[in-house]
């Protein structure tokens, strides 16, 4: 999307009013690559390589498991992806190292602008929720360990229905929990595949494009494009 398109996406597309905001967790609120330091400690000089491949395989395993109708917990998908990554990179992985690295996913760091942005949105009186592929345990752990639990009224996991995003059934969980129609919810994600699924479901969608990526060609587009969560309050105030 070009610069003009980005500006239009941020400033336009008014609706009858946003009544709640639902956030993706991994990558959107929290930096999945904050595990690099732990990876480097275990395998010096290989941290970014491990983190990048690990995250990609983690995502692929959630999609493939959903397609096969073989749901497993997000923690298991994360562990399986780490095993693959170490095998692929020819790195020895023992049980202790696996536990240490997988636990790093329970202690992810929020992106720098996130706490202040959440405070501004909370001050606007909007219910804020998380809808994540994580399990109940993993979502609760990440949010509590970062000290951000006060901002959210709902922490929603795909665990309840046993299928991962972007299956459209997942997005129904937010409507049911908040008692709102899809068009009354602004869904915020940094993952283009997730943003596409949410848009097909009927949410207004804000894509957080921190790294100047290209949106996936999946037949739809986000309602808004921002470079960080600190721009989301502007969207809310302009609708």
Q: Where are the domains of the chain?
A: 3-29+111-237, 32-104
Residue 21 phi/psi, 5° resolution? -125, 130
Our measurement of the distance from residue 175's CA atom to the centroid of its chain's CA atoms, rounded to an integer in Å, reads: 18
CB 191 within 8 A of CB 172: no
What is the rounded CA–CA span in Å between residue 204 and residue 139?
23
**What is the number of other CB atoms lying within 10 angstroms of the CB of residue 18?**
21
Those residues with Cβ within 8 angstroms of residue 116's Cβ, 6 or more apart along the chain or in another chain: 230
Query: For residue 105, what are its two tokens?
Result: 């996913």
**Model confidence pLDDT, tens digit, residues 54-72:** 999 999 999 999 999 999 9
Apex CA 198: angle with CA 195 and CA 199, to 5°?
Answer: 85
Strands (E), 35-169: 109-110, 128-132, 154-157
Catalytic center residues: 24
CB 207 within 8 A of CB 195: yes
**If one looks up domain 3-29+111-237 in CATH, what number appears?**
3.40.50.1000
**Model confidence pLDDT, tens digit, residues 91-104:** 999 999 999 999 99
The Cβ-side half-sphere exposure at 3, using a 13 Å CA radius, reads: 0
Query: For residue 25, what are its two tokens?
Result: 């967790």
Tracing tokens 């095993």 back to the chain, one arrives at 83
Helix axis angle, 74-88 to 95-104, nearest 10°: 120
CB 206 within 8 A of CB 224: yes
pTM for the model stands at 0.91
Nearest by Cα to 211 from 31, 73, 16: 31
Options 1.10.10.1150, 3.90.1570.10, 2.130.10.10, 1.10.150.240; CATH for 32-104 is 1.10.150.240
Give every residue of the chain whose pLDDT is below 50, as ranges. 1-16
Which helix or strand (DSSP H or E) is residue 46 part of? none
**Model confidence pLDDT, tens digit, residues 124-153:** 999 999 999 999 999 999 999 999 999 999
* Helix/strand/coil for 204: strand
Q: What is the pLDDT of residue 198?
A: 98
């Amino acid at each position: 999307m070009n610069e003009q398109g980005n500006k239009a996406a941020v400033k336009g597309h008014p609706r009858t009013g946003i009544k709640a905001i639902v956030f993706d967790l991994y990558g959107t609120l929290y930096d999945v690559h904050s595990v690099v330091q732990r990876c480097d400690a275990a395998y010096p000089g290989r941290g970014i390589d491990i983190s990048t491949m690990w995250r990609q395989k983690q995502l692929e395993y959630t999609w493939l498991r959903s397609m096969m109708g073989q749901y497993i917990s997000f923690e298991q998908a994360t562990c399986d992806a780490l095993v693959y990554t170490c095998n692929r990179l020819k790195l020895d992985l023992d049980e202790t190292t696996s536990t240490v690295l997988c636990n790093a996913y329970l202690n992810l760091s929020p992106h720098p602008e996130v706490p202040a942005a959440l405070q501004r949105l909370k001050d606007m009186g909007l219910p804020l929720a998380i809808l994540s592929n994580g399990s109940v345990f993993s979502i609760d752990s990440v949010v509590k360990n970062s000290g951000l639990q006060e901002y959210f009224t709902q922490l929603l996991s795909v665990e309840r229905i046993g299928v991962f995003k972007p299956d459209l059934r997942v997005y129904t969980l937010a409507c049911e929990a908040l008692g709102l129609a899809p068009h009354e919810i602004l869904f915020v994600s940094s993952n283009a595949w997730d943003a596409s699924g949410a848009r097909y479901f009927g949410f207004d969608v804000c894509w957080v494009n921190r790294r100047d990526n290209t949106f996936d060609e999946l037949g739809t587009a986000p309602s808004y494009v921002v470079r960080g969560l600190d721009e989301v309050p502007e969207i809310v105030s302009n609708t």
